[in-house]
Structure 1
Amino acid sequence: MLELPEAKIIARQLGETVCGREIITVVMNNAPHKFAFYSGDPIHYQSLLKGQRFETALAYGGMVELRSHDIRMVFSDGANLRLHDKGVQRPHKHQMLIEFSDGTALSGVVQMYGGLWCFKESTFENAYRKAALEKPSPLTSAFSKDYFQALIGLENVQKLSVKAFLATEQRVPGFGNGVLQDVLWSAHIHPKRKVHSLDLSEKDLLYHSIREVLGQMLSLGGRDTEKDLFGKNGGYYTHMSKLHAAEGCAMCGGTISKEAYLGGSIYYCLKCQKL
């Protein structure tokens, strides 16, 4: 799933590859998916994009956006994007396939749910996109300690668990259940801890863990549980994930527990992250 680090990486890769290439064909909804979301009828994407050249690629929150003049192509967290070289077979099933004049192609496949929105700027509204555009990213200096302390100090979040606070309601756009695990492990905070139970030092440590762990994920090409535009796994070793949980805690050697919580799996060390 696209979260903050992967969105930044894929946007950079798109800027280095597909930007500048002429679009000749757009095929949408080849394999209908109940939770693939489009802006209007996807059959109109062809008329919007044919003959265009994407000029820039950017990321905000867990979204990736391609721009051509006033045309926007936006991908949300569940859209898996792949670049295909000339002559390489395209996926048989997909929710998007954009062919370029040089023989390359960009495909989009929705995993669980995801948006593939194409529209002229100011003609499409989406609350998640709006929040992601307006709120500061933890990967930027705008996500300051003062900003975070004000956010975590809000009265209406005090009874929430730390997972609910960070990974729901777009409080921190692009910060999802995936990146959450190592951030909380690094901060020695249990995902179910209530926000009001955190003291000032724990809040400070959480802020620095968010900044530092996300920075590491970005610098290492994303998490090893996710793939980039070329299908390559990231280089960041996810300590708290299905890939490595059985290896135990890298800090204390203790057992890593896994359980279902708030619509996803959480991982935590029984010694380092006490509830």
Structure 2
Amino acid sequence: MLRRSFVLGVAAAAALTGLIQTAIPSAASAADRFITVASTTSTEDSGLFGSILPKFTAKTGIEVRVVAKGTGQAIDLAKRGDADVLFVHHKPSEEKFVAEGFSTLRKPVMYNDFVIVGPAADPAGIKGGKDVAAALSKIAAAKAPFVSRGDDSGTHKAELALWKTASLDPAKAEPKESWYRSIGQGMGPTLNTAAAMNGYTLTDRGTWLNFKNRGPLTVLVEGDKRLFNQYGAMLVNPAKFAHVKAADGQAFVDWLVSAEGQKAIADYTINGEQLFFPNANEPGA
């Protein structure tokens, strides 16, 4: 009887082990259902992804793993096939990405705006202005510290374009303008540097609203239509990279522009202030 009980015990343990081994691959398969999204620091630093991605995952079972870089770096990542979806904010670069065959379609998703922030003391005297070119001209004339991301991000590209509207290009000035600091970092470190220097900088409003270490900084210039900031999303072309998770990646893009995704974006606020404004169905966006 003792021997029979022992044999039955061994058999039961073996059966249990088999059940566990069978269950483990199933759980691993579920955990492995994810997509990689190359996106900007603003969508991450603003807290938007933290708000909307759990809603997408709860609906679809697809985890979204974000690689947050400046727009230029995010595009390069996608061009290497290291992402399934690209979600950035520089329309000319996005359209070029599609034209070069790295995606077949760009979908507009949302917009917000850029603002110029600087010290409340405002040595350049730009506070309350609605003309961004005039504000930049005053900063240059006063040689007041200006901190540039200098990282080929969408914000950096926008900043360089705005300097051109003022017929200035401090990034290429020779000798180098000592008041213009290009640091090659993301929006958070750029704002930290501006705060430490009592300097000015250009920031997307979403990151600014979620930024805690403001120090002496405040919004000084806003409202110029040239400060408009559009975001778009694209599935990386699986015809170029066979490993792209096309179905799940497309599901994410489709969700972003769906009524549910657009509402999730609109519902994200900080202290009652909306950070991004969905416009997937707006012509020309």
- Greater CA radius of gyration, 1 or 2? 2
Report the TM range for the smaller structure's normalisation. Answer: under 0.3
TM-score by length of 1: 0.24
Relative to its length, the structure with more helix (as a share) is 2
TM-score by length of 2: 0.23
